[in-house]
Structure 1
Amino acid sequence: VSNFSRNIALWVIIALLVLALFNLFQGPGTQGSATTLAYSQFISEVESGQVRDVTIQGNTISGHYTGGTPFNSYAPNDPDMVRKLNQHGVTISAAPDEEGTPTLFAILLNWFPMLLLIGVWIFFMRQMQSGGGKAMGFGKSKARLLTERQGNVTFGDVAGIDEAKEELEEIVEFLKDPQKF
């Protein structure tokens, strides 16, 4: 696999992530072509018979005129609104309140498993590049073989070290009488 194809794959993954984040923030409730009405104007449109149907979601009212054009309005707590809509033959549907825009923490919490998998994947890709093509090369032993010249320590080498002498005396004493210890 060439370096060029790895770069292309990385850019494709980044583009997909950006697209997914864009769709996450876009949300299902975006209506670009709907006109926004004041509540008083909405009530007068209902009373004049120009409203076909409405969907009440919390305090938000969305609906269509008899011609099919969409509109949005914001309703105060008006207990007579549903009665007025029924009197004028408007089809009413209700929907639960939308939860607010997710916080950054909630987004990160939802994306954490995916980000963790991407991080592990990047880690293994880097290991494959540096480890001579072996995916599990990070556990290679770095032990070296000691030759006679490098590993030959004699009593003459440690003769001036008092701690080494005391440790050897303790070992000899232990070998003579292990019951003491």
Structure 2
Amino acid sequence: MIIVALIQTFMQPQEVVRDIKYYPDFIEMLEKGEVTEVRLVGNNIEASLADGTKVKTYKPEDDELTARLIEHKIPFEPLPEPEPPWWSTLLTYLIPFVLIIGLFFFFMQQQGGGNRVMNFGRSRARLYDSERRKVTFDHVAGADEEKYELQEIVEFLKDPKKFNELGARIPKGVLLVGPPGTGKTLLARAVAGEAGVPFFSISGSDFVEMFVGVGASRVRDLFENAKRNSPCIVFIDEIDAVGRQRGAGLGGGHDEREQTLNQLLVEMEGFPPMKGLLLWR
């Protein structure tokens, strides 16, 4: 509608009006008898001349102007200032709103990067293809006892149906504990490489955002991706970023970290072991 109104406005025939720079020039034309008609529109003067042209100038505070027009017997018509068109008033309020929305999306893009503006509820887990970037136990120096304990996990990931038919209780997750730099992430990737399954890696801090509910949404999206790629390994680094005691925060049950932790526990409990999903923390 705004575009149609603009087109109609510009297509209407416009009168040719010649601007006068100074008000005294108009008074001089008036004294010479060149003015035939005057319209007083707000603070502007629109005059018709004897040769058919129209002129326009600004009207200052001049109490004698009306008397001069009457003296020279020039018809004049005082008119109020014309109101702006409705679309102009609408644009006055619409443009700031559009700019604010545009700035919001711009800063969200700068913070989230790429096309993540509308996908901030999506998981940020990185998927490593075990076939393209294969890491095995041979790449892990030392940790012989840990590698021996994880051999059973590798066998389960290779053939989960065999363990299920035997009635074995399959662990849902493995907790890796140790100081930084001891090879926990490399060991988890080595298990995925030995078993030939996809490897999802994400940090616990990636679940926590300033928007309430984003962390829980990312947890759901992460596990949905894992189910589509099962059997696989989900490795959550620095799980203590969200895995604190529940009910200890100032926000109570509405705390973002607590909501994320609750959703994480729900996904862990509700996922059947025979799917072959291993949660590394």
Greater length-normalized contact order (CA 8 Å, ≥ 6 residues apart)? 2
TM-score normalised to the size of structure 2?
0.29
TM-score normalised to the size of structure 1?
0.43
